[in-house]
A and B are shown apart, each in its own frame.
Chain A
Amino acid sequence: AAGVIQSPRHLIKEKRETATLKCYPIPRHDTVYWYQQGPGQDPQFLISFYEKMQSDKGSIPDRFSAQQFSDYHSELNMSSLELGDSALYFCASSLPPVWSGGAYEQFFGPGTRLTVL
């Protein structure tokens, strides 16, 4: 079965550089979520999109922005990178609520490991 695809899988950047992470959801999934997981920490919600509109926002720094495109893939743009941005970034997708009877699970991608030097 198709899964969530994330690219790149690994990314190394210098401080103050920019990075773009991409997420391709499972076909027919129109809801996308981004999570950040620092070393030794639990995943933390950043932002989500439903039908190409931002649906919820968590602890996402102002230096980060994201969007969902017409084909439902999503990109997380990170500028002025800091050492503390080094983390695993997961994307997840899900069906819209009405299709799954109101209770829906999220399917996670393999993550992008970002290292800021």
Chain B
Amino acid sequence: DAKTTQPPSMDCAEGRAANLPCNHSTISGNEYVYWYRQIHSQGPQYIIHGLKNNETNEMASLIITEDRKSSTLILPHATLRDTAVYYCIVRVANAGGTSYGKLTFGQGTILTVHP
């Protein structure tokens, strides 16, 4: 799976949009970009994923550059409860072989939302 690079920490004011970048310059054509977050000591929580098109769900939006070498997770109206570690993970969606989708967590971004 491709390696990702994220800033170690970011701050955001409550009610403002939080834009979390991720660099994945070695991504392969069959690899998806996944975002998970982990609120202190809780189990990681799936947020969103995408292949090459921008995606939006009730939690966030995912913007993937045309060359797919980077992406941005957008939380449109951050709240205090969005304070967490955000992980950008790149992996093959359906390996088809013996690997059924383990997640490789690297250093994520600690997002702190301030009142």
CB-CB < 8 A to A111: which residues of B? 41-43
CB-CB < 8 A to B42: which residues of A? 110-111
Q: Which chain A residues have a beta carbon within 8 Å of chain B's beta carbons?
A: 4, 31, 33, 35, 42-45, 48, 50, 55-56, 58, 88, 90, 92, 94, 97-98, 102-111, 113
**Residue pair A105, B34 in contact (C-beta under 8 Å):** yes
Q: Which chain B residues have a beta carbon within 8 Å of chain A's beta carbons?
A: 32, 34, 38, 41-46, 49, 51, 87, 93-94, 96, 98-108
Most buried by B among A88, A105, A113: A105
Q: A43-B44, A45-B103, A106-B103 are in contact. Are A56 and B51 (CB under 8 A)?
A: no
- In the assembly, what is the distance between CA of A114 and CA of B103, in Å? 22
CB-CB < 8 A to A42: which residues of B? 87, 105-108
CB-CB < 8 A to A109: which residues of B? 43
Q: Nearest residue in B to A4 (C-beta to C-beta)? A: B43
Given known contacts A45-B104, A92-B43, what 18 new A-B pairs fall within 8 Å (CB)? A33-B102, A42-B87, A42-B106, A45-B103, A48-B100, A48-B101, A48-B102, A50-B100, A56-B99, A56-B100, A97-B96, A98-B94, A103-B32, A104-B94, A107-B46, A108-B43, A110-B42, A111-B41
